[in-house]
Amino acid sequence: MKKQLLAGIDVGTTGVKVILFEPDGTAFSSAYEEYACIYPKPGWVEQDPQMLVNAMDRTCRAAMAQVPGMQAEIAGVSVSAQRSSVILLDEAGIPLRMLSWLDNRAAEESDEIARVLGAERFYDITGLPLCATWILPKLLHIRQHDPALWGKVRRVCQLHDFILHSLGAEDYFGNQAEACFWGLWDNRTLRFDPALLSAFEINRTLLPEIRKTGEVAGTLSSDAAERTGLPFGTPLCIGAGDQNSAALGAGVTTPGAVSISLGTGGLATVVLDGCYRDPRRQGMVTSHAISGLWTFEGLQNAAAGVFRWFRDEIAALEKAQAAGSGNAYDTLNQMIGSVPAGAHGLLMLPYFAGSAAPRWNAAASGGFLGLTLSHTRADMARACMEGITLEQKDILHSLQDAGKGFSHVRIVGGATKSPVWNQIQADIYNLPCETLAINDAAVLGAAISAGAGTHIFSSLAEGAKNMVHIGERYEPVPQNAGKYEELYRIYCDTYEAMEKARVFQKLANL
């Protein structure tokens, strides 16, 4: 009897991963390919959507090449993808441009939305603190500053929708879990808000149809089968944005459960049983992949992406030494493990793509504070890891201040491959942290979506119960936790002093 496999595809900001899973959560085969973003100007971040499709195709073929002939069949396919990245399509469906979620060019348009509608009203409708990250300000920027391009636009979609369509979906279908990132969607009524569409003159026909995670969207086309090696006619199921998919793939599916994901960006997620609105308008409220649940989220624009920058730009020697014979991250982890908590009095501000929750400052930028001639690259590497995690602690504080308490954290994302980083997280949060047997939670979430859509599971919740398994548990070290509480106070004081003196804004204006 052939094994049934579920294909999960995660098209992230810096790479695409494909894993073929058995229904019990065992990874049968996998493949990964890394790629880059395009930076046309400071604060502008774009990607080539066709390049992303090509990378996905190659990665699917690589994963399928590990499946012995006639011994397994692909029961279903689903997709996880970076959220709030918008693709502009012409009349023929050819992509004209893709603006990444990291793109901050639309700060003035964000201010325009505040003038026309008000930041409070925007948050009340969308559940999003108003900023340049969301799609609506990006669309307004293109319309205002590149009318020739805007005149060619006939459809707009998010990356999930584009990837699924490239595989054979019948249309550009969005999903409820990430629909709010349009900045036009009311996740209380689950529809595009007519008042927002009217106020900013966005034609509803530009936007995709929104469906529930796990619904069947079509079958794999013959062209996609040839490109990917996946079988022609395989059911294609609606997935979710990467962080929503990661919550599902982490088994964070019941009210009160919390996860922290550290990928290129970071996210803290608490599951809610009602559509909450934060009176301080600091946390995002999105729909959970499971319809009828919501998530209270704290977004971090740059997380492990900052550590990747450190690897490429500061630890170039370690990267070169590891080329062909090892992994630079393994070397960096060993270096970090030799440095005590607090990195000998060195603090790194991680705002390499601005600050999202809870401070929402697009002008914020990163840097090292406390450098002396005695500091080493190992100290800087640890300070980098600690600074990224301190921003997550800042987010957790904002969630706790909103009355969302929790006793432990489930940690996911690429950062969990590092045991030293896992322990740093437990120490800085001063909470037990659990990893997963499969730490690529977004890919696993996509596979769960495929399993629910093809009725291997009766629901997404049942799929998570069958496929998600705990890996390790890290307890906080009291001595380190105390030192990190002091470092966190310094971190907050540093940000507040620099913001009060308008240092970030002055640097951005140079």
Residue-range domain boundaries for the chain: 3-256
pLDDT at 402: 61
Q: Is the dihedral of CA 390, 391, 394, 399 positive or negative?
A: negative
Residue with tokens 């600050």: 355
54-63, 65-74, 167-176, 417-426: segment of lowest average pLDDT: 65-74
- Does residue 235 contact residue 219 with C-beta atoms inside 8 Å? yes
Residue type, 378: A
Q: Are 383 and 368 in contact (CB under 8 A)?
A: yes
Instruction: Identify the pLDDT of residue 234.
Output: 98
Structural element, H or E, at residue 286: strand 284-287
pLDDT band at 424 (very low <50, low <70, confident <90, very high): very high
CA distance 66 to 64: 5
Phi, psi values for residue 504, rounded to 5°: -60, -45
Which of 256 and 377 is assigned the larger pLDDT? 377
**Buried b vs exposed e over 314-346: b needs ≥16 C-beta within 10 Å?**
bbeebbeebeeeeebbebbbebbeebebbbbeb
Q: What is the mean pLDDT of residues 304-324?
A: 87
What does residue 173 show for φ and ψ, rounded to 5 degrees?
-95, 125
Q: What is the CA radius of gyration of the chain?
A: 22
- Give the mean model confidence (pLDDT) for residues 32-37: 95
At 195-227, the pLDDT tens digits run 999 999 999 999 999 999 999 999 999 999 999
Conformation bin of residue 400: beta by default, left when phi > 0, alpha when psi is -120 to 50: alpha
CA distance 13 to 16: 8
The residue among 190, 189, 184 whose CA lies nearest residue 213 is 190
CA angle 367, 373, 379 (to 5 degrees): 55
Average per-residue pLDDT for the chain: 94
**What is the per-residue pLDDT across 115-149, written as a single tens digit (0 to 9) for each?**
999 999 999 999 999 999 999 999 999 999 999 99
pLDDT tens string 257-267: 899 989 888 88
- Higher per-residue confidence, 503 vs 3: 503
The model's pTM is 0.83
For 24, what's the count of Cα atoms within 13 Å in the CB-facing half-sphere? 3
Does pLDDT of 306 surpass 70? Answer: yes
| Mean of pLDDT values over 229-250 | 95
pLDDT of residue 407: 83
Q: Which of 7-11, 26-30, 400-404 has the lowest mean pLDDT?
A: 400-404
Number of residues that make up the chain:
510
Q: What mean pLDDT do residues 402-429 have?
A: 89
Q: Is 285 helix (H, G, I), strand (E, B) or coil?
A: strand
Q: Is 17 in contact with 62 (CB distance < 8 Å)?
A: no
pLDDT at 200: 97
pLDDT at 401: 67
CA atoms of 384 and 164, how far apart (whole Å): 36
Say what the pLDDT of residue 404 is: 67
**pLDDT over 80 (residue 497):** yes
Residue 298 reports pLDDT greater than 90: no
pLDDT computed for residue 360 by the predictor: 85
pLDDT tens digit sequence for 330-352: 999 999 999 999 999 999 999 99
C-beta atoms surrounding 475 within 10 Å = 12
3-state secondary structure 86-138: EEEECCCCCEEEEECCCCCCCHHHHHHHHHHCCHHHHHHHHCCCCCCCCHHHH
Half-sphere exposure of 415 (CA within 13 A, CB side): 33
Helices (H) and strands (E) in the chain, counts: 18, 22
- Compute the average pLDDT of residues 35-48: 94
Predicted local confidence at residue 122, as pLDDT: 97
Measured CA to CA, the distance from residue 500 to residue 510 in angstroms comes to 18
pLDDT of residue 299: 84
Instruction: Please give the average per-residue pLDDT across 455-477, as a whole number.
Output: 97
**How does residue 177 score in pLDDT terms, banded at 50, 70 and 90?**
very high
Please give the share of the chain, as a percent, with pLDDT higher than 70. 98
By C-alpha distance, which of 77, 167, 180 is closest to 122?
Answer: 180
CB neighbours of residue 385 within 10 Å: 29
Contact 495, 504 (CB under 8 A): no
Residue 221 token pair: 């086309």
Q: What's the CA gap between 374 and 362, in Å, rounded?
A: 33
Helices (H), 368-470: 377-401, 419-429, 441-453, 460-467
Q: What SS3 string covers 156-181?
A: EEEHHHHHHHHHCECCCEEEHHHHHH
State the CATH architecture for 3-256.
Answer: 2-Layer Sandwich (3.30)
- Among 208-217, 368-377, 437-446, where is mean pLDDT lowest? 437-446
Q: How confident is the model at residue 313 (pLDDT cuts 50, 70, 90)?
A: very high
Q: Which residues contact 105 (CB under 8 A, 6 or more apart)?
A: 41, 43, 44, 99, 132, 138, 141
User: Which candidate, 425, 398, 396, places its Cα nearest to that of 412?
Assistant: 425
Please tell me the predicted confidence (pLDDT) of residue 459.
97
pLDDT band of 320, cuts 50, 70, 90: confident
CB 387, CB 422: distance < 8 Å? no
Indicate if the pLDDT at residue 509 is higher than 80: yes
